[in-house]
Amino acid sequence: MTEHFSSRFGFLMASVGFAVGLGNIWRFPYVTGENGGGAFVAVYLVCAFGIGVPILMAEIMLGRRGRASPPGAMRNVALVEGRSPHWQWAGGLMLLTAFLILVTYSVVVGWVLWYLAKALGTGFASSSNGVAAEAFNQVLGNVPGMLFWTVLALSIAGGIVYFGVRDGIERSVRVLMPTLFALLIALGVYNLFNGGFTAALDYLFTPDFSKVNGAMVLAAVGQAFFSIGVAMAGMMTFGAYLPRDQSISHSVALIIVADTLVALVAGLAIFPAVFHHGLDPAGGPGLIFQTLPVAFSQMPAGHLVSVLFFVLLSVGGITSMVGLLEPLVAWLDEHRGFARHRSTLSLVGGIGTLSVISILSYNVLADWTVASRTVGELMDYISNQVMLPFGGFLIALFVGWFVSKASARDELNMRSGVRFEAWHLLIRYVVPLAVAVILITGV
pLDDT in tens, 364-373: 999 998 888 9
360 pLDDT band (50/70/90 cuts)? very high
In this predicted structure, what is the pLDDT of residue 224? 81
Give percent of the chain with pLDDT exceeding 90: 54
Q: What are phi and psi of 127, to 5 degrees?
A: -75, 135
In this predicted structure, what is the pLDDT of residue 440? 80
In this predicted structure, what is the pLDDT of residue 278? 81
- What whole-number distance in Å separates Cα of residue 438 and Cα of residue 389? 9
285 pLDDT band (50/70/90 cuts)? low
| Residue 37 pLDDT exceeds 90 | no
pTM: 0.92
The H or E element containing residue 370 is strand 369-370
Q: How many CB atoms lie within 10 A of CB 45?
A: 16
Cα 424 off chain centre by: 25
| Residue 351 pLDDT exceeds 90 | yes
DSSP 8-class letter at 374: E
**Mean residue pLDDT across the chain:** 89
Averaged over 215-230, what is the pLDDT? 80
Write down all domains in the chain, each with its CATH number in brackets: 8-442 (1.10.4160)
Tens-digit pLDDT profile for residues 402-440? 999 999 999 998 877 899 999 999 999 999 998 888 778
Averaged over 279-304, what is the pLDDT? 81
